[in-house]
């Protein structure tokens, strides 16, 4: 099993930095087809201090925006250093979250930025929305990270459909890791059951050619997410594999504490599956 096609979200403007370099290195490692994807939605009329602003775009404006996106594609191809049929560019003038979630049908893995200081849905995708809507594993990359060796990987286990899906989706990384640490954060009274579950997961991974699997049952100290991040620090891991958990309220997804914390605070890359 491998990632035959990797898709990476590309910002409309700014430096083509860490996330793009990371995607190029992963495409080289897995011999993947690499797709760069970007979207830029025109803004509707809005009001500032009682004054209606209508940024209505002319046909010339739309053509110029298309030219900007196409130039970005050329910059992306130059930055990743991949030539020929193994690199591709896709772009559109629509909401980034909706466009990327739809285009994810072409990929095995989608790479996005973990968070932003300022969220603008007309320019940037919402990583949480992509986790929930794309039907593909989402690799969320912190802003300062530009590579992912994945030599030591922490699997945040929870006996759920999402966690089982995440393990399956992450197999290409897990099979190349030097050590995989399967961890469950649980109450001390449940330690024996936790250990039994982790043993099953470790045996499953061993049968899929994942070697050097370690099992860690950790008590809840503070919050579960704090306990997990301490495991990551203690094990010097650079990748977390986890299910993404949320619930719908009035049509809007609300993430659970662990998923929300990892989407906003994790110092290392996180592979989410839902």
**What is the set of domains in the chain, with CATH numbers?**
5-141 (3.40.50.620), 152-273 (3.40.50.620)
**Residues, the chain:** 274
With a cut of 80, say whether residue 32 has pLDDT above it: yes
For 157-181, write each residue's pLDDT tens digit: 999 999 999 999 999 999 999 999 9
For 35-62, write each residue's pLDDT tens digit: 999 999 988 755 666 665 656 778 888 8
Q: What is the mean pLDDT of the chain?
A: 89
- Indicate the pTM of the whole model: 0.91
- Between 63 and 50, residue with greater pLDDT: 63
* Across 5-11, average pLDDT: 97
- Between 49 and 106, residue with greater pLDDT: 106
């Amino acid at each position: 099993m491998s990632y035959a096609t990797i898709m990476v979200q590309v910002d409309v403007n700014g430096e083509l930095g860490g996330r793009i370099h990371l995607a190029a290195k992963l495409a080289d490692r897995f011999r993947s087809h690499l797709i760069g994807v970007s979207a830029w939605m025109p803004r509707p009329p809005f009001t500032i201090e009682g004054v209606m602003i209508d940024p209505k775009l002319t046909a010339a404006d739309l053509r110029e925006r298309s030219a900007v996106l196409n130039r970005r594609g050329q910059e992306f191809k130059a930055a990743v250093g991949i030539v020929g049929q193994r690199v591709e560019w896709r772009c559109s003038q629509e909401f980034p979250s909706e466009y990327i979630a739809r285009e994810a049908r072409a990929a095995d893995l989608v790479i996005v930025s973990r968070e932003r200081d300022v969220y603008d849905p007309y320019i940037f995708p919402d990583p949480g929305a992509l986790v929930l809507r794309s039907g593909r594993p989402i690799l969320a990359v912190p802003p300062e990270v530009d590579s992912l060796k994945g030599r030591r990987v922490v699997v945040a286990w929870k006996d759920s459909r999402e966690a089982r899906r995440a393990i399956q989706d992450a197999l290409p990384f897990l099979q190349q890791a030097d050590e995989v640490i399967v961890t469950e954060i649980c109450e001390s009274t449940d330690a024996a059951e936790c250990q039994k579950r982790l043993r099953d997961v470790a045996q499953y991974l061993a049968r899929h050619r994942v070697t050097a699997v370690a099992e860690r049952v950790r008590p809840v100290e503070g919050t579960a997410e704090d306990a997990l991040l301490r495991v990551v620090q203690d094990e010097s891991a650079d990748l977390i594999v986890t299910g993404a958990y949320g619930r719908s309220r009035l049509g809007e997804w609300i993430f659970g504490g662990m998923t929300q914390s990892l989407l906003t605070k994790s110092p290392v890359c996180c592979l989410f599956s839902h």
